[in-house]
Amino acid sequence: MSPRVLLTGATGYIGGTVLDTLVSTHPDYDVTVLLRNVPENFRSTYPNVKIVNGHFDSTDIIADAASQADIVIHHGLPLHDASLNALITGLLRRSEQSFLIRLSGSVMASDFMEEARLGSLNQKTWSDLYDVDTIASERPNALVDSGGVIVRTAAAEHGKKLKVAIIVPPATYGPGRGLGRTQSIPLPRYVIEAKKLGAAFYYGDGTNSQGWVHIEDLAKLYMKLVEAAAAGGGSATWGEKGFYFTSSQEVSQLNIARAAAKILKREGVVESDEPKQISLDELDGMLVNYRFPFASRYMFASNSRSKADRAKCDLEWKPDAPGLLEVIEPDLLEALRNPQPC
C-alpha cells in the first residue's frame, strides 16, 4: 500500500519545491496538501494531489487530516505552535506508527544576539551528531525554537508511536519549483536593502560566515527522509536525536557583498562595484519589520555555522548542486526583475 503523505506549506519556497520533487519522484504516493488559497493551476499541475482547504489556525481540520496520514511533512510558520500541536494530536489518534518531518531554521545556531561577534568569524561550528542537546536547549544569547521543543517532547513521550525528525537548513538559494514563492529569503532581502543603501554592503570585517544549501540539494534530503519513513524508519535517526543540519558550504558576508556589488553595479542599482562597510546603526535600520528583532544582524552580520554530519552518515546525502557564488547572479537578477514579498 502506498504511503499517505500530508504536506503543509505547499506554496512556500521550500514546501513547494518539496511537493514538486515528491510528486515527480514518487507518483505512486497518496499525497494531500493543506492550502488556504489554491493556486489557479494547482489542480492541472498536480491532478492526483488531494487538497484540504484550511489555514494554520484551522486546528480541527489539521488534526483530522493528520490522523489520516502515515507521514506528515510540515513547512508551517516557525512560530505557529498551534498548527504543530494539531498535527501531533492527529497523528497520535492513529493506531499505527506515524512519522513527522518538520522544518526548522538555523537561527538557533546563530550568534546574532552577541554584538561583539557581529561582522567577524566565530570559530564555533555546530554538529547535528554531537551538539543536538545543547543547541535545542535554552541558552544565553540564543533564540529557542519553541516548535522544536514541542516536537522533541512529543518524541520523548510517544517515541514508539510517533517518529519525528527536524530538518534545519541554513540560508537557501536557487530557483524554487513550486506554484507559489520561488525565491529564497536572504538574497532578495539583501537586494532590497542594497537598493535602499545604494551599495552592496557588509558589517565589521565581513568575515562572519553562514552555511548555505541549494534548494535542489535540500529537496534531495527531504526525499531521503520521506523514503526512510515510508520504509518504516529505514536508516534515518528519529526521535530526540532526529535533528538534521543541511549545510553544504560556508560563505562569508564579504564574499557575498563583493559578488553582489559587481552584479548590482552592472545593473545600475548601486554606484560602486566595491561593497561598503556599514555602521551598526545602518545595519539595525534594515529589516525593521521582519519576523523577529535584529533580523538584519542575523541575516547579514552573524555567524551560523553547522555541519550536516547526520544526513551524510545516516542517509548518505551528497549535495552536488553548484555553489552559491557560482550561481548567485541569476538569484540576484530574479530578485531585481521579479520581486516577491519577503
pLDDT in tens, 87-98: 999 999 999 999
d(C-alpha 180, C-alpha 338), whole Å: 13
Q: Mind giving me the DSSP string for 203-232?
A: ETTS--EEEEEEHHHHHHHHHHHHHHHHTT
How far from the centroid of its chain's Cα atoms is residue 121's Cα? 23
Cell (9 digits) for 228: 526512510
- pTM of this prediction? 0.96
Domains of the chain as residue ranges with CATH: 4-184+212-249+303-320 (3.40.50.720)
How many beta carbons lie within 10 A of that of residue 319, not counting itself? Answer: 19
d(C-alpha 202, C-alpha 208), whole Å: 9
Closest CA to 165 of 25, 310, 34, 67: 310
Q: pLDDT tens digits, the chain, 342 residues: what are they?
A: 899 999 999 999 999 999 999 999 999 999 999 999 999 999 999 999 999 999 999 999 999 999 999 999 999 766 689 999 999 999 999 999 999 999 998 888 999 999 999 999 999 999 999 998 888 777 777 777 888 889 999 999 999 999 999 999 999 999 999 999 999 999 999 999 999 999 999 999 999 999 999 999 999 999 999 999 999 999 999 999 999 999 999 999 999 999 999 999 999 999 999 999 999 999 999 999 888 889 999 999 999 999 999 999 999 999 999 999 999 999 999 999 999 987
Residue with cell 505512486: 28
pLDDT in tens, 241-284: 999 999 999 999 999 999 999 999 999 999 999 999 999 999 99
